[in-house]
Amino acid sequence: MRVLILGGDGYLGWPTAMHFAALGHDVCVIDNYLRRNIAQQTQSEALMPTPNLHKRAEIFQSLTGHSIRVEIGDCADYRTLSNLFADFLPETVIHYAEQPSAPYSMMGFEEATLTLNNNLNATMNLIWAVMEHTPDCHVVKLGTMGEYGTPNIDIEEGWIDIEHKGRTGRFLYPRAAGSLYHTTKVLDTDLLWFYVRTYNLRVTDLMQGPVYGLSTTETDLDSRLNPNFHYDDIFGTAVNRFLVQAVAGIPLTVYGKGGQVRGYLNLKDTLQCVQLAVDTPVAAGDLRILNQFTETFSVNDLASRIERVGNSMGLSVEVKSIPNPRKEPEDHYYNPAHSGLMELGLQPNYMTDDVVAAMLEEVIAYKDYIDVSRIMPRVKWK
Ligand code: USQ
């Protein structure tokens, strides 16, 4: 199958590209290095040095014999994307090409508009390139569990049946995002739903929770194939940050009360979920929404787990609540459904103590690269 990956340089895009190439698919990635550039501008570079895409594709090919076509270009530019579609004629597109950091989107006007323009334009251009060149192509779009927020009722998988004044209807589940970044994902879903119901596109929207880890079958081949592992306050996500803090001997930065619950998943499971979605394309005119996580934890649960495992390995780990830089409920109900991917065959890699220990070992190998000035939050939601 010809698989086009938008945002192929990212934490998820690169491991996804290798995974599909290793399965024997014909893989093309496009990326404009936006995240690398923002990371440089904000002093938020990844923990491990990551060669550029051409170099990584070369290393991967030398080790496995599988090639990955690399295009450096901007998906927010319609001509660039349209020309690539006309040339590659993808059968599946996996769309990660978005500015993914909630804190970055909350820094100020420039960062907010960059996030809005980049994310919405990339999605809009993808829709039009599909309609122009490959109307049968299955679009697998990465959304986020953060679209739903933390409502006081159970979260369904994308849709909700509502009875109102004696009549019933099916609607997109109400969304209440907690950052401008998460709001762009809500807008993406609305755009896709409009074009699906009007022009019969085929779309799967994966509502993903925070991802953790470094290890996949392909990244384990050579450390130069690792994904971009961030631990700073802008691009680092909670688990990856706590792992680095544990190794650096910095108290784990629980924001506020630490009762914020999210649905987490191992990087290996992102690859499984995306593959399950790709292997079961939806019918024309269908928007399938799947909640993509394997288990829920509060921030306090995560911190205690990493503290316990880290201390058993001889590290000196403490947990400390710091004022929450975000505006979010810190103690709330959270019960999201997530049976769709399990029904498709997902075999979860849960966050066991062994998994935490293995991730800590990987970070320990790069202990000297940790810059402790990147840990404390620099961006406030005001
Ligand atoms: N948190 C802490 N301490 C930290 C970092 C985070 O307590 O040092 C808390 C946050 O306040 C939040 C929770 O941990 O309540 C999760 O934060 P995060 O930084 O791990 O995740 P988030 O900003 O929500 O965004 C990440 C990815 C984003 C993806 C999203 C999925 O950056 O691209 O869409 O996870 S979700 O969170 O389900 O919306």
Query: What are the structural domains, with CATH classification, of the chain?
Result: 2-374 (3.40.50.720)
Residue 158's pLDDT is what? 97
Distance CA 180, CA 192 (A): 18
Confidence of residue 6 (pLDDT cuts 50, 70, 90): very high
Distance CA 115, CA 237 (A): 18
DSSP string, 214-243: ---TTGGG-GGG------STTT--HHHHHH
Residue 248's pLDDT is what? 98
Q: State in Å: Cα 265 to ligand 1 middle.
A: 12
Specify the ligand 1 atom closest to the Cα of 260: 15
pTM of the model: 0.97
Question: Residue 100's closest CA among 12, 2, 192?
Answer: 12
- Return the residue whose CA atom lies nearest to atom 18 of ligand 1: 237
Confidence of residue 287 (pLDDT cuts 50, 70, 90): very high
Residue 263's pLDDT is what? 98
Q: State in Å: Cα 262 to ligand 1 middle.
A: 8
Q: State in Å: Cα 57 to ligand 1 middle.
A: 30
For the cut 90, the answer to whether the pLDDT of residue 382 exceeds it is no
Question: Residue 203's closest CA among 195, 212, 214, 213?
Answer: 195
Residue 23's pLDDT is what? 98
Q: What is the mean pLDDT of residues 333-353?
A: 98
Q: What is the mean pLDDT of residues 3-27?
A: 98
Mutate to test the pocket of ligand 1, among 98, 106, 144 (most ligand atoms within 8 A of CB): 144
Q: What is the mean pLDDT of residues 196-216?
A: 97
For the cut 90, the answer to whether the pLDDT of residue 318 exceeds it is yes
Helix (H, G, I), strand (E, B) or coil at 287: strand
Q: State in Å: Cα 145 to ligand 1 middle.
A: 10
Report in angstroms the alpha-carbon separations of 93 from 15, 120, 148. Answer: 15, 16, 24
Q: What is the mean pLDDT of residues 73-95?
A: 98
Query: Cβ(236) to ligand 1 under 6 A?
Result: no
Contact 189, 205 (CB under 8 A): yes
Residue 86's pLDDT is what? 98
Please confirm, yes or no, whether 144 is among the known catalytic residues.
yes
Q: State in Å: Cα 299 to ligand 1 middle.
A: 9
Which one from 50, 115, 144, 219 is the annotated catalytic residue?
Answer: 144
Amino acid at the residue 24: G
Please confirm, yes or no, whether 134 is among the known catalytic residues.
no
Q: What is the mean pLDDT of residues 27-54?
A: 97
Query: Cβ(260) to ligand 1 under 6 A?
Result: yes
Q: Average pLDDT over the chain, rounded to whole? A: 98
Which one from 181, 195, 212, 334 is the annotated catalytic residue?
Answer: 181
pLDDT digit string (tens) for 160-181? 999 999 999 999 999 999 999 9
Query: Cβ(175) to ligand 1 under 6 A?
Result: no
Q: What is the mean pLDDT of residues 229-243?
A: 96
Please confirm, yes or no, whether 183 is among the known catalytic residues.
no
Contact 331, 259 (CB under 8 A): yes
pLDDT digit string (tens) for 96-152? 999 999 999 999 999 999 999 999 999 999 999 999 999 999 999 999 999 999 999
Distance CA 270, CA 300 (A): 23
Report in angstroms the alpha-carbon separations of 166 from 169, 173, 232. Answer: 10, 20, 51
Query: Cβ(145) to ligand 1 under 6 A?
Result: yes
Residue 88's pLDDT is what? 98
Contact 252, 303 (CB under 8 A): yes
Distance CA 84, CA 99 (A): 21
